[in-house]
A and B are shown apart, each in its own frame.
Chain A
């Protein structure tokens, strides 16, 4: 589910702006680090720190977008790939400089630790919280995109940027805002998931493949797609590692290849 929250932002960014942003994991990592710092160094309580982390990441992304990303919108696939790799390198180095080699420690508040009793089974409280929270995010996203005017504009711009501009939609601001949302979500996801996916300097590299798989399989520009894909991948990965440990992540990759060949646009892909 963490995968979903992080990746849905990527789906929107890539689908909306047509920008291949491999550095998305950077925002997730930043979220995780900021959460950790906020809580330990600044003593903020968990929920506040979470919000603060997400917002800071969003703000950071806006800065990056204005300064750097926006120059490359028309630059072509190779340039975007290279740029985002460069960005990963830079942030990885910065992370290592600031935080050293260890994973960022996360101290969950007491009310989120332990287990919940439900239907005779024990569930780790935090995981339940995560699932619930993700569901909330998914719902608000769906609501926001499907129902509101903003959502309609985003969808219009995804479909046809030129047309949207001539209808008077300020695509520059729209892109900036959407990028901020996507990255903020990544930051949120990274922060939320920091307990499960430890945040340390190699984070964007390690998980890049998974983020990309979720987005590519789910389909660019769609919201449901990455949800389904993240679900599938999470389940498949766990199942595979449990039942046939010799194969490890093999199944996930093979499945990705299979799905992409069958549906090159992803399961719910919106555009070419």
Chain B
């Protein structure tokens, strides 16, 4: 989809998510907090897709950056009294970028299982630290008392979550725009090259390791911003932003939507979080069961997630209605 042969003009379908978000805002004002949560996780999923879908790095530790961003924003406000939301975001971004750079530089020399293990270990360490450093993080009780001053001094965070929703929407838009640029750039083409055949990449003179470290850092920064948003919107941060669980969740969300295709990161969290909101409350045991089965089914039969299925259906429809049209034209 990216690369030198791609068409980069924004297709009309690409405006749909934003239209949908706008509609959501006006039509379903009671669900705005769920909506904000969805937006945040879409941003988180986008960051993961950058390294998983495009660079091919399989990680279970992405929550480390999410959690670090969340706690940075939380501590900044609750412990250091800095309430400006943008400073919170900037601080979270800086911290996550630093962690991403350091850990990326260290672990990207390894591959496969070792890499996976290291990512897990890193997020586990952060979880331990958050758990034990009670004075700073509130430990198992979490950190409350997070306040957010009005954005630009004008927009207060209201009880209905309107400001929060729009705040997250703008952040997501910015994140989406950046990701889209990167994916279509020569850098993005190079990333798909690494994912496709790293040996060939080395043989054409690309310093693969450094390129991966860079995208890992960018991805970490985005995840950190997403985490900070969560803290600011909930005015609380707890241990559930770190460790294996959120990493696993976001991985599942991304797979459901479809990896490596930009909008999978949109579809996945929407489906997952809405389903979770409804089903997990009603039938908590069945929630895990259902997600597990769904995951297995997706892995075995529908590797491309929801969007993959949509693609297949579209190709079938196109090849039925226009017998001569080549499969190449409609495929990405």
Pick from A79, A81, A97, A254: contact of B60, CB below 8 A.
A81
Whether A260 and B132, one on each chain, are in contact in the complex, defined by CB atoms closer than 8 angstroms, is: no
Of the candidate stretches B115-123, B201-209, B221-229, the one touching chain A is B115-123
Per the bound structure, the CA–CA distance linking A97 and B287 in Å amounts to 11
Whether A78 and B293, one on each chain, are in contact in the complex, defined by CB atoms closer than 8 angstroms, is: no
Residue of B nearest to A85 (CB): B248
Whether A253 and B293, one on each chain, are in contact in the complex, defined by CB atoms closer than 8 angstroms, is: no
Whether A213 and B121, one on each chain, are in contact in the complex, defined by CB atoms closer than 8 angstroms, is: yes
Where the two chains meet, the residues of A that have a C-beta atom closer than 8 Å to any C-beta of B are 14, 20, 68, 71-72, 75, 77-79, 81-83, 85-94, 96-97, 205, 208-209, 212-213, 216, 220, 246-250, 253-254, 256-257, 260-261, 264-266
Per the bound structure, the CA–CA distance linking A98 and B129 in Å amounts to 35
Whether B110 and A90, one on each chain, are in contact in the complex, defined by CB atoms closer than 8 angstroms, is: no
In the complex, whether B294 has a CB less than 8 A from a CB of chain A is yes
Pick from A90, A208, A216, A264: contact of B244, CB below 8 A.
A208
In the A-B complex, the 7 residue pairs with the smallest Cβ-Cβ separation, listed nearest first, are: A89-B292, A86-B295, A90-B292, A93-B289, A93-B288, A86-B296, A216-B117
In the complex, whether B158 has a CB less than 8 A from a CB of chain A is no
Per the bound structure, the CA–CA distance linking A20 and B117 in Å amounts to 11
Contacts of A249 in B (CB 8 A): 124, 128
Q: Is the interface of B mostly helix, strand, loop or mixed?
A: helix
Pick from B118, B295, B298, B303: contact of A89, CB below 8 A.
B295
Whether A257 and B118, one on each chain, are in contact in the complex, defined by CB atoms closer than 8 angstroms, is: yes
Contacts of A91 in B (CB 8 A): 292
Pick from A77, A253, A261: contact of B106, CB below 8 A.
A261
23 contacts between A and B (CB under 8 A): A14-B113, A20-B116, A77-B113, A81-B60, A82-B252, A83-B300, A85-B248, A86-B298, A86-B299, A87-B292, A87-B296, A88-B292, A89-B289, A89-B291, A90-B288, A93-B292, A209-B244, A247-B128, A250-B125, A253-B125, A260-B110, A264-B110, A265-B114
Contacts of B106 in A (CB 8 A): 261
Per the bound structure, the CA–CA distance linking A209 and B85 in Å amounts to 35
| Most interface-central of B122, B129, B292 (chain A CB within 10 A) | B292
Instruction: Count B interface residues, CB 8 Å.
Output: 46
Q: Least Cβ distance of A18 to chain B in Å? A: 9
Contacts of B290 in A (CB 8 A): 93
Whether B58 and A78, one on each chain, are in contact in the complex, defined by CB atoms closer than 8 angstroms, is: yes
Whether B117 and A212, one on each chain, are in contact in the complex, defined by CB atoms closer than 8 angstroms, is: yes
In the complex, whether B149 has a CB less than 8 A from a CB of chain A is no
Contacts of B113 in A (CB 8 A): 14, 20, 77, 216, 220
In the complex, whether B255 has a CB less than 8 A from a CB of chain A is yes
In the complex, whether B131 has a CB less than 8 A from a CB of chain A is yes
Tell me whether A250 and B110 are in contact in the complex, defined as CB-CB below 8 angstroms, given that A89-B292, A93-B292, A213-B117 are known contacts. Answer: no
Contacts of B122 in A (CB 8 A): 253, 257
Contacts of B292 in A (CB 8 A): 85-93
Whether A93 and B286, one on each chain, are in contact in the complex, defined by CB atoms closer than 8 angstroms, is: yes
Contacts of B287 in A (CB 8 A): 93
Pick from A68, A71, A94, A208: contact of B289, CB below 8 A.
A94
Contacts of A72 in B (CB 8 A): 299-300
Tell me whether A81 and B128 are in contact in the complex, defined as CB-CB below 8 angstroms, given that A87-B292, A93-B288, A213-B117 are known contacts. Answer: no
Tell me whether A86 and B117 are in contact in the complex, defined as CB-CB below 8 angstroms, given that A77-B58, A209-B124 are known contacts. Answer: no
Whether A260 and B117, one on each chain, are in contact in the complex, defined by CB atoms closer than 8 angstroms, is: yes
In the complex, whether B285 has a CB less than 8 A from a CB of chain A is yes
Whether A79 and B299, one on each chain, are in contact in the complex, defined by CB atoms closer than 8 angstroms, is: yes
Per the bound structure, the CA–CA distance linking A106 and B217 in Å amounts to 48
Residue of B nearest to A77 (CB): B58
Whether B288 and A96, one on each chain, are in contact in the complex, defined by CB atoms closer than 8 angstroms, is: yes
Contacts of A81 in B (CB 8 A): 58, 60, 116, 251
Tell me whether A68 and B116 are in contact in the complex, defined as CB-CB below 8 angstroms, given that A85-B252, A89-B289, A213-B121 are known contacts. Answer: no
Contacts of A94 in B (CB 8 A): 289
Whether B303 and A79, one on each chain, are in contact in the complex, defined by CB atoms closer than 8 angstroms, is: yes
Contacts of A220 in B (CB 8 A): 113
Contacts of A86 in B (CB 8 A): 291-296, 298-299
In the complex, whether B112 has a CB less than 8 A from a CB of chain A is yes
Per the bound structure, the CA–CA distance linking A78 and B292 in Å amounts to 15
Contacts of B293 in A (CB 8 A): 86, 90
Whether B121 and A247, one on each chain, are in contact in the complex, defined by CB atoms closer than 8 angstroms, is: no
Q: Least Cβ distance of A52 to chain B in Å? A: 26
Residue of B nearest to A266 (CB): B114
Contacts of B110 in A (CB 8 A): 260-261, 264
